[in-house]
Amino acid sequence: MKSSTRPNLPQRFYCDLFGHNYKVTKDVTEHVKEYTCACCKRELTTNGNGRLTELTPKFREINATLARIYSNKLARMRARRFETSAA
């Protein structure tokens, strides 16, 4: 008989029974966010199709790069808006 590799924690049991209680932990962009379950600390992110997927190191790196690009874009837009309003 195979044994389960997941620990039998009370939080895990709660999530299995009632479902996860996801909270937004980081806004990467307007559409991409990172979520964490308040009970079992499971981490998810939004993938390219808009669905939730497990937050792996690959997705962490993708989200960090996406956040950097997005913040640079917003900074350029703010600077351009400031230049046109000052003129």
pLDDT for 14-42, tens place per residue?
888 889 999 999 999 999 999 999 988 99
CA dist., res. 58 & res. 80, Å (int): 33
Average of per-residue pLDDT across 72-86: 87
Secondary structure of 5-69 in HEC code, one letter for each residue: CCCCCHHHHHHHHHCCCEEEEEECCCCCEEEEECCCCCEEEECCCCCEEECCHHHHHHHHHHHHH
pLDDT above 90 (res 76): yes
Global pTM?
Answer: 0.76
